[in-house]
Amino acid sequence: MQKFTLAAIAALMAAAPAFAAPAQADDWLPEAQRINREIVRQRSSDARELQLFNGNLAQNRSQNHTIQLQAGKSYVFFADCDRQCSDIDLKLTDSNGKTIKEDDDDDDNPVINSAIATSGTYTLTANMTKCEASSGCAYSIQAFENGPWLPEAQKINRDIVRRKDPQARQVHLFNGRAAKEQNRSHQVQLTAGKYYSFFADCDYSCSDIDLTLKAADGRVIKEDNDDDDSPIFGWRANRTGSYTLTVTMPKCDTEQCEYSSQVFMGTKPVFDH
């Protein structure tokens, strides 16, 4: 399961005309801003708009805007321009001038999605690549802070399980923090003959988390150590007793990353594999 990525945004933007009413040339930017708000909030109901920058640029000119961003948060940035503009680019740089993300595709609605590892002042740069008006083209940049990811991930996991097994119920929910390459273990009680589904997820500062289930003697029963942020597996318990569920954090961009792990008990296997 990916977090709020550019792929997810692109899929929502493909449906953007459904949000849009016919707009005149001089009122396009407010309409584009409204569409962006709908796109973000469809994906994250807790997202909030932080800032709205407006300006006017001639072709091949650029303008910087500074913004304060916090470590451990995830942000989405949109740029749009008026009907006289056919290409505008957007770039995010840190206080040292290092490029964090940029969208320089040949289009008029660049989008940047970025999780921030260090709190501080960042710069959003709008570059007006193509503008037909001699007086310049109007543009806007919107900055959104995504809502917390873990509650959303947990809801998605519950929906996945219950679509496959309506009688399944969540029997464990573990929450914690771990630094890069650290692990955390949790004890789970499993019942012989029951089907279990295991999930782990981590916050925006983490890009890889692993999950392992071990028997009382330390033997590995199941594990998912793929390079991703949403390990999952299922198992039908063959013995009633205590087991150890271990979360490992291979990649974390901040001092510590938050994680959660869910265990569901049901009447049938949820995962085909």
Q: Is the model's pLDDT at 4 over the cut of 70? A: no
Stretch 249-264: mean pLDDT: 94
Report yes or no: 206 and 177 within 8 Å, Cβ to Cβ: no
Domains of the chain in sequence order: 6-145 (2.60.120.380), 150-266 (2.60.120.380)
Stretch 149-176: mean pLDDT: 95
Q: What is the 3-state secondary structure (H, E, C) of the chain?
A: CCCCCHHHHHHHHHCHHHCCCCCCHHHHHHHHHHHHHHHHHHHCCCCEEEEEEEEEECCCEEEEEEEEECCCCEEEEEEEECCCEEEEEEEEECCCCCEEEEECCCCCCCEEEEECCCCEEEEEEEEEEEECCCCCEEEEEEEEECCCHHHHHHHHHHHHHHHHCCCCEEEEEEEEEECCCCEEEEEEEECCCCEEEEEEEECCCEEEEEEEEECCCCCEEEEECCCCCCCEEEEECCCCEEEEEEEEEEEECCCCEEEEEEEEEECCCCCCC
Per-residue pLDDT of 120-161, as tens digits, reads 999 999 999 999 999 999 999 999 998 888 998 999 999 999
Q: How far apart are CA 265 and CA 6, in angstroms?
A: 34
Q: Is the model's pLDDT at 94 over the cut of 70? A: yes
Report yes or no: 249 and 193 within 8 Å, Cβ to Cβ: no
Q: Is the model's pLDDT at 262 over the cut of 50? A: yes
- pLDDT averaged over the chain? 91
pLDDT band at 26 (very low <50, low <70, confident <90, very high): low
pLDDT band at 25 (very low <50, low <70, confident <90, very high): very low
Per-residue pLDDT of 176-196, as tens digits, reads 999 999 999 999 999 999 999
Per-residue pLDDT of 207-228, as tens digits, reads 999 999 999 999 999 999 999 9
